[in-house]
Amino acid sequence: MTVPFYNFTELHNDEFKSAIKERFSKIIDDGAFVEGEYNASFEQKFAKLQAAKHCLLVANGTDALEICLEVLGVGPGDFVGVPGITFYATSEAVLNRGATPVFVDVIPESGLMCPQSLERVLSKHKLKAIMPVHIYGLPAPIRELEAVCKKHNVAIVEDAAQAQGTFLENGPVGSSNNMTTFSFYPTKNLSAFGDAGAILCQSDEQAERIKHIRNHGRGGLPIFGRNSRCDHLQAAVLDMKLEKIDGYNQARKKIASLYHEALKDFPVRVLPSRFIETSSWHLYPIGLASKEQRARVEAHLKAKNIGCTPFYERSQSEEPALKNYAQLGEDENARAFAGTIICLPIHPFVSQEDVATVAAALKEIL
């Protein structure tokens, strides 16, 4: 039985397709292709959903990160803390600003940025900002990181590209006083028909700067900008998908708890079950004994038509493009964590039967 890693057919079923075609048809007739009524509608609804004062749509999740760093004044000569486990775009945003990434080690059980490691890194490097990532959808320990940052006057940008649906200690992701970024790339929990991203913040002044930057500096402030607008078709898709996102995230939680139960006696590491309710379960990673075992498991699952991906094969310090920065900061846990992970299918349409199929296939190879 096939269990695909993603399922766009169910996500974009006939009902969804006919509704979105109607919206697209109206947008074409109106000729309103960039920053239209659905941009405004989505920004308002998404800010409310995530308990933020402002939502600003931008072109993609990497731009969202870069623009936040720009708003904080991060540029050449500045150092920015990045967790050892993340998608490359987090470090890339730092490099694109001309700044230098410094790696902060991760908590071994979760892959999230470790506050104690941050303390140690700050004793050696002056960081202008850190970018904790809510990796896999797990909430990073924002309160503890904030306590460390406050002592050293370091700003925080939360990378929530994988975390639409995640809850922090005090509310949904986006409700903190930090700028928080999202990607709506087609594989994310909330997804466009192409590229889109967003920034959430509480500060009127930051929101104003972001508005200027994303649209060529237009708007009156003497600010240098760029083009990072989100087009109206993408906003129309996102706005429509908001109606169902909560149900889809609930389904992911249910599937995560089914996997936890099915794998409880298996010789694999799963994420701590205290995260069942607070993670968006963007991905469901399991940890294996070694890289070799990980490769064997991947080959076996694929032979059985079970979708799986090794997120992440390398820590950030091991990325070839980042080798000049590998010596900066700490990465011991991140190196041990990366490479032994395989992610199992956890889109909202994975059934109880699918979970049993995946568990049975794992049992054969472990």
Ligand X SMILES: *Cc1c(COP(=O)(O)O)cnc(C)c1O
Q: How far is the CB of 64 from ligand X (least distance, A)?
A: 8
Contact code string over 249-288 relative to ligand X, x by CB under 6 A: ----------------------------------------
Q: How far is the CB of 320 from ligand X (least distance, A)?
A: 18
Binding to ligand X, residues 69-88 (CB under 6 A): 86-87
Size of the site for ligand X (CB under 6 A): 15
d(CA 24, CA 21): 5
Q: How far is the CB of 74 from ligand X (least distance, A)?
A: 16
Contact code string over 123-152 relative to ligand X, x by CB under 6 A: ----------x-------------------
Residue type, 304: K
Q: How far is the CB of 290 from ligand X (least distance, A)?
A: 25
133 or 168: CB nearest ligand X: 133
CA triplet 71, 74, 76: central angle to 5 degrees? 145
One residue of 39, 50, 110, 162 binding ligand X per CB under 6 A: 162
d(CA 9, CA 11): 6
d(CA 16, CA 56): 25
Helix count (H) and strand count (E) of the chain?
A: 12, 11
Q: Please measure the distance between the N-terminal and C-terminal CA atoms of the chain and give it in whole angstroms.
A: 19
Handedness of CA 101, 105, 108, 110 (dihedral sign): negative
Q: How far is the CB of 87 from ligand X (least distance, A)?
A: 4
Q: Which of 311, 267, 273, 331 is nearest to 293 (CA)?
A: 267
Q: How far is the CB of 365 from ligand X (least distance, A)?
A: 28
CA distances from 286 to 83, 275, 346 (A): 19, 14, 12
Binding to ligand X, residues 169-208 (CB under 6 A): 183, 185, 195, 197
> How many Cα atoms sit within 13 Å of 68 on the Cβ side?
34
Query: Considering the rule CB under 6 A, would residue 89 count as an interface residue with ligand X?
Result: yes
- In total, the chain counts a number of residues equal to 366
79 or 184: CB nearest ligand X: 184
Phi and psi angles of residue 234, each rounded to the nearest 5 degrees, phi first: -65, -40
One residue of 85, 130, 145, 161 binding ligand X per CB under 6 A: 161
Residue type, 55: C
Identify which range of 8-16, 54-62, 285-293, 312-320 contacts ligand X by CB under 6 A.
Answer: 54-62
Identify which range of 32-40, 60-68, 139-147, 221-229 contacts ligand X by CB under 6 A.
Answer: 60-68
Q: Which of 123, 129, 126, 137 is nearest to 91 (CA)?
A: 129
Contact code string over 288-327 relative to ligand X, x by CB under 6 A: ----------------------------------------
DSSP H helices, 158-230, are: 204-214
Q: How far is the CB of 249 from ligand X (least distance, A)?
A: 16
Q: Which of 346, 332, 342 is nearest to 108 (CA)?
A: 332
Identify which range of 2-10, 22-30, 122-130, 157-165 contacts ligand X by CB under 6 A.
Answer: 157-165
> How many Cα atoms sit within 13 Å of 338 on the Cβ side?
22
Binding site for ligand X (CB under 6 A): 60-62, 86-87, 89-90, 133, 159, 161-162, 183, 185, 195, 197
